[in-house]
């Protein structure tokens, strides 16, 4: 699986090496964030918040690719398969953690957001809990 992810990231990073293809406010760490979102969408987690069943991938990101490039990326993502949702979740959490290790704190905004969401979902799996409401409290202020 790691080889597939490395291939996917290589395709996307290579594409965005050309500054003409970058969208406004592009960061190299965005590539891993969007790859993580693609994996999240592909895995279709049953414990995802109802309004986040599918992560909204930025149009800027998706529109940067030709149909051929996107088909290659999509083929890789579609080929990643696991037996159950906990394996998918563990794979996605590991992917995010490894991705974060490549960048500095200022570059991690999107990856941190994805990690927070995925880790909150992991807690629902751990507790076998269904989502009853969305908690909009600041997680840093909770005790």
Write the pLDDT tens digit of every residue in 80-104. Answer: 999 999 999 999 999 999 999 999 9
Q: What percent of the chain has pLDDT over 90?
A: 64
Q: What is the pLDDT at residue 135?
A: 62
What are the CB-based long-range contacts (under 8 Å, 24+) for 70-73?
Answer: 72/11, 73/8, 73/11, 73/12, 73/38
What's the Rg (C-alpha) of the chain? Answer: 16
Highest mean pLDDT among 1-15, 17-31, 38-52: 1-15
């Amino acid at each position: 699986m790691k080889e597939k992810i490395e291939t996917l990231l290589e395709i996307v990073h290579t594409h965005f090496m050309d500054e003409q293809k970058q969208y406004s406010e592009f960061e190299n760490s965005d590539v891993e964030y969007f790859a993580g979102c693609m994996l999240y969408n592909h895995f279709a987690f049953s414990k995802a918040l109802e309004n986040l069943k599918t992560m909204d991938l930025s149009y800027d990101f998706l529109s940067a690719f030709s149909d051929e490039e996107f088909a290659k990326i999509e083929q890789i993502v579609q080929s990643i398969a696991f037996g159950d949702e906990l394996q998918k979740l563990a794979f996605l959490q590991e992917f995010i953690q490894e991705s974060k290790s490549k960048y500095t704190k200022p570059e991690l905004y999107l990856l941190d957001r994805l990690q927070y969401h995925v880790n909150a979902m992991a807690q629902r799996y751990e507790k076998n809990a269904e989502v009853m409401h969305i908690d909009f409290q600041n997680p840093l202020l909770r005790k």
